[in-house]
Amino acid sequence: MLATGIRSWKSVALTTAAVLVGLAAPVVTTTPAAATTTAYDSTYYKNAIGKTGTSLKSSLHTIITPQTKLSYSAVWDALKVTDQDPNNSNNVILLYSGASRSKSLNGGDVGDWNREHTWAKSHGDFGEVTGPGTDLHHLRPCDVTINSTRGNLDFDNGGSSVTNGGGSTVDSDSFAPRAADRGDVARMILYMAVRYEGDDGFADLEPNEKVGNGSNPYMGKLAVLKAWNEADPPSAFEEKRNQVIYDTYQKNRNPFIDHPEWVEAIW
């Protein structure tokens, strides 16, 4: 990815996000640099700047590990804030389909939305206890039926269209979100890989190049996720979401939304 390209879309995304939600705007410098710069580089990310590979991953793990943890029931109300439709404050935007649906339709029936674990909870078997299973950085509102269609499938290109899926596709061993959610999914999965390293009572989550990972603590396919990160850069919606999680709920950030080039720097 070209540095100039990163700077231009990054600036637009942050500016738009700040306007949308009225947050204190993260300041984006205009100094030419080889990578994205954010207001958090001299503070939150101070110890990670300039690093690559396992050194960067280790540093980011240390930085993002301290967090406020939610109960699974508290996730319902949090998602109504983090994923609010910017054009309709009564609704949330659903992952994979992009549909806008009433916040009050949270539940388990057809037509409701529920809590999608983008890193499928069976991959590492962390369930719904407070921890990775309640981490807002990978939890998204999702149509009940489409959530069931995704199940615990790994991510890969290909398959046939999901009904009302906004362009998402599925086959026997993998799922692909609609194009506008592909980068979001990649950055959520890779956040989980860095945040959960097996040192806090949960499995060490890692991406790999497989599908059919089942209950192993892995998620594929890494090469596809890397391509999705490039093809679908962070949007204003995703930036705002990261900021709200940081400011209001967990006090930690998804580094790959702030610095998508760190995906390639680590993997």
**Contact, 159 vs 174, CB < 8 A?**
yes
Q: In angstroms, rounded to a whole number, what is the distance separating the alpha carbons of residues 188 and 22?
A: 24
| Residue 204 makes contact with Ca ion by CB under 5 A | yes
Q: Minimal distance in Å, beta carbon 2 to Ca ion?
A: 19
| Residue 232 makes contact with Ca ion by CB under 5 A | yes
| Residue 230 makes contact with Ca ion by CB under 5 A | no
Question: Interacting stretch for Ca ion, rule CB under 5 A, among 19-27, 45-53, 85-93, 177-185?
Answer: 177-185
Give me the helices (H) in the chain, please.
3-21, 53-64, 72-82, 144-150, 179-195, 222-231, 236-244, 255-258, 261-266
Amino acid at 12: V
Residue 18 sits at φ, ψ, to 5 deg, of -65, -40
Q: Minimal distance in Å, beta carbon 198 to Ca ion?
A: 7
Residues contacting Ca ion: total by CB under 5 A: 10
Cα 204 off chain centre by? 18
Question: Interacting stretch for Ca ion, rule CB under 5 A, among 16-24, 189-197, 209-217, 244-252?
Answer: 189-197
The three-state secondary structure class of 142 is strand
Q: Minimal distance in Å, beta carbon 204 to Ca ion?
A: 5
Chosen residue from 183, 217, 220, 255 binding Ca ion by CB under 5 A: 183
Chosen residue from 17, 70, 79, 193 binding Ca ion by CB under 5 A: 193
Q: Minimal distance in Å, beta carbon 199 to Ca ion?
A: 9
Chosen residue from 85, 112, 173, 197 binding Ca ion by CB under 5 A: 197
Measured from the CB atom, is 95 or 170 closer to Ca ion?
Answer: 95
Q: Minimal distance in Å, beta carbon 194 to Ca ion?
A: 6
| Residue 242 makes contact with Ca ion by CB under 5 A | no
Distance from the first to the final alpha carbon of the chain: 14
Residue carrying structure tokens 């640099």? 33
Q: In angstroms, rounded to a whole number, what is the distance separating the alpha carbons of residues 244 and 240?
A: 6
Q: Minimal distance in Å, beta carbon 60 to Ca ion?
A: 11
Measured from the CB atom, is 26 or 234 closer to Ca ion?
Answer: 234
Burial letters 220-248, b for 16+ CB under 10 A, else e: bbbebbbebbbebbbbbbbbbbbbbbbee
Binding site for Ca ion (CB under 5 A): 180, 183-184, 193, 197, 204-206, 232, 235
